[in-house]
């Protein structure tokens, strides 16, 4: 039987997340660019405030959970200087202006991201004209087509399919069952399981007799450090390229149409869809289940709320909500007005009765 209480245990199950350590608190503090009064203290792992013990490091980023500080048993906590006074005796502060960034660094110290195990599985199929760089791992059943280039230190997961001519940069991670065609990837790109990159865009001409397919002659260009979530789809361009800028993070189950251009360090959350030829600026955030029609321009650092239906351009820095999407302040004013009208209607009905 499975003991469901295990769900309350500390993170980092060694079966799935091999760890390192222990690490001295002094070395952890140095990683964060801060100091500590107990540099020789050994820390063996990371854990949430609720379950951390004296040999663990924890963190506080969201002030909603500040009340947990007084009761934590953690040996050390990464937190903003404003909250140091709430720590119990014996718990050492590791102060930083960005606690969540600090937590990411420390968690990766104890549980590093997967590194390639150089070698090619016997069941993988690699075309003789493909170029596979030094230290690449190719998993079971993977297929690498003609004239493909795989950069040094990359991981090609089991059953991944990389079609002819594709370029994969150095230190990329292509997870299981990814299909990748008509694409050029930069360095440190991550494609999570089941991502479909480079398939035909949804392009056709309408005639009296039905639909006529339009050749999709572009590519997908993915910049350095971009990550594409599980089961997301990115169509190749029609006459232009589909471009995913450096550092872009795309969540699971996202659809990106042909010729879309997404600027650097933008975020697209689960189940969102972007229609063809839309240009998205840098630093944009598109929340879950938002839908964008085609040929739009979304300015830098714009924010698009969950389930928004965006049918017009969005200026830089604007925050929009609703369907059709509009400025968030106008949206909430309308919500309040409708609520007041509904309440007034109910009062009138009771008075008439």
pLDDT per residue, tens digit, the chain (353 aa), is 666 555 556 788 888 999 999 999 999 999 999 999 999 999 999 999 999 999 999 999 999 999 999 999 999 999 999 999 999 999 999 999 999 999 999 999 999 998 999 999 999 999 999 999 999 999 999 999 999 999 999 999 999 999 999 999 999 999 999 999 999 999 999 999 999 999 999 988 999 989 999 999 999 999 999 999 999 999 999 999 999 999 999 999 999 999 999 999 999 999 999 999 999 999 999 999 999 999 999 999 999 999 999 999 999 999 999 999 999 888 889 888 888 888 877 777 776 66
Backbone angles phi, psi at 262, to 5 degrees: -110, 125
* CATH topology (fold) of 119-328: UDP N-Acetylglucosamine Acyltransferase; domain 1 (2.160.10)
Question: What CA–CA distance (Å, rounded) separates 186 from 206?
Answer: 36
* CATH topology (fold) of 18-110: 3.40.1390
How far is C-alpha 60 from the geometric centre of its chain's CA atoms?
21
- Active centre residues (catalytic): 258
Domain range annotation of the chain? 18-110, 119-328
Backbone angles phi, psi at 60, to 5 degrees: -130, 120
Q: Say whether 119-328 and 18-110 share the same fold.
A: no
Ramachandran quadrant class, 207 (left: phi over 0; alpha: psi -120 to 50; beta: rest): beta
């Amino acid at each position: 039987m499975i003991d469901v209480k295990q769900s309350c245990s500390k993170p980092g199950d060694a079966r799935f997340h091999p760890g390192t350590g222990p690490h001295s608190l002094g070395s952890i503090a140095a990683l964060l660019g801060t100091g500590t009064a107990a540099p020789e203290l050994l820390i063996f792992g990371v854990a949430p405030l609720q379950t951390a013990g004296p040999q663990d490091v924890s963190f506080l980023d969201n002030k909603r959970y500040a009340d947990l500080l007084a009761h934590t048993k953690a040996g050390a906590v990464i937190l903003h200087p404003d909250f140091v006074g709430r720590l119990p005796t014996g718990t050492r502060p590791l102060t930083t202006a960005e606690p969540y960034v600090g937590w990411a660094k420390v968690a990766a110290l104890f549980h590093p991201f997967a590194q390639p195990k150089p070698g090619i599985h016997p069941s993988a199929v690699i075309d003789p004209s493909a170029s596979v760089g030094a230290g690449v791992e190719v998993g079971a059943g993977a297929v690498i087509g003609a004239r493909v280039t795989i950069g040094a230190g990359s991981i090609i997961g089991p059953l991944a399919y990389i079609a002819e001519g594709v370029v994969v940069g150095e230190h990329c991670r292509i997870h299981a069952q990814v299909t990748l065609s008509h694409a050029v990837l930069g360095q440190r790109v991550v494609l999570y399981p089941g991502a479909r990159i480079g398939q035909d865009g949804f392009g056709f001409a309408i005639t009296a007799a039905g639909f006529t397919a339009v050749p999709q002659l572009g590519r997908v260009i993915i910049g350095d450090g971009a990550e594409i979530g599980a089961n997301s789809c990115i169509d190749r361009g029609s006459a232009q390229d589909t471009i995913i800028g450096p550092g872009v993070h795309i969540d699971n189950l996202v659809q990106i149409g042909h010729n879309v251009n997404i600027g650097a360090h933008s975020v697209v959350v689960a189940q969102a869809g972007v229609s063809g030829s839309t240009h998205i600026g840098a630093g944009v955030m598109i929340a879950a289940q938002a839908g964008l029609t085609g040929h739009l321009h979304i300015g830098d650092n714009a924010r698009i709320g969950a389930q928004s239906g965006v049918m017009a351009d969005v200026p830089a820095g604007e925050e929009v909500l609703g369907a059709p999407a509009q400025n968030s302040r106008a949206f909430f004013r309308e919500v309040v007005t409708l609520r007041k009208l509904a309440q007034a209607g109910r009062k009138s009905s009771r008075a008439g009765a």
